Structure 1
Amino acid sequence: MDRVIYNFDSLPLRQTATPAPKRRAIYRAHRTSDPRIGVIYNPRSHRNKGQDLACTGSDRITVAQPRTRNEIFHALSGFARDGIDFLVINGGDGTVRDVLTIGQMVFADRWPAVAVLPKGKTNALNVDLGAPADWSLEEAMKAYHTGRRLVRRPLAISREGDDNPPMLGFIFGAGAFTLGIETGQDAHSLGFFNSLAVGATGAWGVLQALFGTDRNKWRRGTEMDLRFLPSGESVPRSAFGNPDRRSVMLASTLERMPMGVQLFGAPRPGFKLAVLDHPRRRLLASLPAILTGWRPRWLSDAGFHQLDADGLSIDVAEAVILDGEAFPAGRYRVEQGPDITFVSV
């Protein structure tokens, strides 16, 4: 699972997938007294050193260490044939994205219960689910019986003209968010990880936007056309900045964000959208208060929009980001994927 630019045609073919029933209502994985457990273990994840493999000797536990997306597909297909009740993903947000994306071709809308061991450099999904940052496989196995169960629907992102299954993930963004991810990689190299990396990256971006000119890449924005789905209606826009550009676009189905940031407004379920039209200095100066819950009446008129949606169409001239990975410019549909039951403490 190397870090590469994600190509849609790198996914296994849809016709090799195991068929499953279509979604009719929220599907919740059932508890069983003696579950079969499948573990996807990414040895390259930032915090993995093999220690979680010490408790995998039971014949009820199957561990796979895939290194490519095709290997993920074959591992998950084997888990499905075994009839697993519990899928444990040991890795960071990128590992989760790859497993969910490929898993939809195996499990469709009837997933086993899923736990995420947060072993990557950033673990935004785990922040939302509320599992400990040092959660182990042994603790996750106990939580299968005693822990909380939370239903989440990942974003489903498909590129226009592509016949492959959509990608599943939890944070999709464009504009300065793409620059922020690039800066975040530099933050990781300096030793900043998890919420600390998010904070360092965000602070750097705000400083660039506050003190730079409109020629600065942090201020000039990215050409993008945003429309709600299924209506096709344009996403609201203020009068500030180039009308063909937006500074930042972010979409997510997470309810809680790292560091408690209220990027999308008050915590709530569903598809949420945050859009910054142009980085006006007055708005940026107020951003720390806004992201901790302050909701001035002038916010949308000033160019910062916090919205709910069923889906989004985006036509964007520069790369976009899904859960930390870059994808090429183009036209995308961003909707909601299947219901997945996650296990937490």
Structure 2
Amino acid sequence: MRGGLHRYSHWLRVSDNPLVQLRLFPLKALAMSDTPTPTARASGLPTVGVIYNPRSHRNKGQDLASDPAPHVFVAQPGARDQLPVALERFKQRGIDLLVINGGDGTVRDALTAGHAIFGEDWPAVAVLPKGKTNALTVDLDAPSEWSLQGAIDAFRDGRRIPRRPLSITPIAGEAPPMLGFILGAGAFTLGISKGQDAHRLGAFNSLAVGVTTVWGVLTALMGRADNPWRRGSKMDIRVGEAGEPFPRSQIGDSAYRQLLLASTLERFPAGIMPFGKLTQGLKIAVIDHATRSILLRLPLILRGKLPEEMEAKGMHQRAVESFTLNIDDSFILDGEAYPGGKYGIAPGPEIEFVAPK
């Protein structure tokens, strides 16, 4: 939840219909309870907590409409550090379903804040795709116009899709882990910047991915050796508890990698397949150096067709249990930059995501 989340200082009914009791509450105003809402339990309805980000690209407020719902509670935190308070109160309410209304960044912030609260025992989670980028909901096959009522219906009648977000933990210090689904470094960091430019031009989701990819290929093909798209970032990648060095070709400066991408998602926007035929678990894709041989084959690579000779030419795809990343430059987690340093990356808690049939 970046920057401008608005803070509500009063209770607000979002419908003139007195039966629709969806309410945006200030974090100090919700009375605490150690038990779930009795009316919800008696009716067999799920108790639902909603994290609502009004600054997400596609949020207009109308997506909060649902059937009569005294069992639905909506939190609109005024700042990122209020998320743990809202989630703790949801836990005390005994929620069965957590609905995250926003884009990838809102999902990242909610999962990160909730990790210390729910641990390995999360409620079911549904994501309403309201951001500029919604990669997780592409993987979950959630419709772009999915509503709160649709998510509640899917909790009862839809599919449950288990996913484990990445858990990124600083090696030094005592900072808690961050949870997210797509980690990138090197040229990926510049790609996110170009993706923001694409957003300003009106391109979102899959179209923004396409704009960024085309720009990166053209810049790397025509750019000089000192072009940041071609230079990459200084990083060291070690795999597993033993810390085995991640494979590297003999091409380019051995201290640098041009691009790193890691994720636990199984499907990606625009139909790209950055990890080839690898789908399950934690996956890494790395380009050592942007040779023209790799860049000219990039359309094939993004469609999941990696020629065998590309390994020796500096393109690697691996499924791993965990890895450490020691990087000088910043890296990107679900659209936001984080400072360089040494981090441990592994699959986080398994969460059941709700999706329509």
Q: TM-score, normalization: structure 2?
A: 0.87
- State how far apart, in whole Å, the 1-side matches of 2:143 and 2:324 are: 35
Which of these residues, 119, 123, 133, is aligned with residue 134 of structure 2? 123
- State how far apart, in whole Å, the 1-side matches of 2:241 and 2:278 are: 24
Q: Secondary structure at the match of 1:218?
A: helix
Q: How does 1:1-345 map to 2 (within 5 A)?
A: 1-3=1-3, 33-55=44-66, 58-345=69-356
Q: CA deviation at 1:164?
A: 2.4
- State how far apart, in whole Å, the 1-side matches of 2:278 and 2:271 are: 10
- State how far apart, in whole Å, the 2-side matches of 1:239 and 1:121 are: 38
Contact 2:65 2:149 in 1 (8 A): no
- State how far apart, in whole Å, the 2-side matches of 1:122 and 1:305 are: 26
Q: Secondary structure at the match of 2:183?
A: strand
1:15 alignment counterpart: none
Distance 1:168 1:56, change over 3 A: farther
- State how far apart, in whole Å, the 2-side matches of 1:56 and 1:47 are: 22
Q: Secondary structure at the match of 1:302?
A: coil
- Residue type of the partner of 1:2? R
Listed as ranges, the gaps of 5+ residues in structure 1 are 5-31
Contact 1:56 1:62 in 2 (8 A): no
Q: Which has the larger radius of gyration?
A: 2
Q: CA deviation at 1:130?
A: 0.7
- State how far apart, in whole Å, the 2-side matches of 1:319 and 1:120 are: 23
Distance 1:214 1:56, change over 3 A: farther
Q: Secondary structure at the match of 2:312?
A: helix
What is the alpha-carbon root mean square deviation over aligned residues?
Answer: 1.3
Q: Secondary structure at the match of 2:246?
A: coil
Q: Secondary structure at the match of 2:318?
A: strand
Contact 1:91 1:120 in 2 (8 A): yes
Contact 1:251 1:273 in 2 (8 A): yes
Structure 1 residue runs of 4+, over 6 Å off? Answer: none
- Residue type of the partner of 1:321? I
Contact 2:53 2:102 in 1 (8 A): yes
Listed as ranges, the gaps of 5+ residues in structure 2 are 5-42
Higher relative contact order (CA 8 A, sep 6+): 1
Q: CA deviation at 1:267?
A: 4.8
- State how far apart, in whole Å, the 2-side matches of 1:249 and 1:293 are: 16
- Residue type of the partner of 2:292? R
- Residue type of the partner of 2:289? H
Q: CA deviation at 1:329?
A: 1.2
Q: Secondary structure at the match of 1:187?
A: helix
Contact 2:331 2:339 in 1 (8 A): yes
Q: CA deviation at 1:303?
A: 0.5
- State how far apart, in whole Å, the 2-side matches of 1:76 and 1:130 are: 25
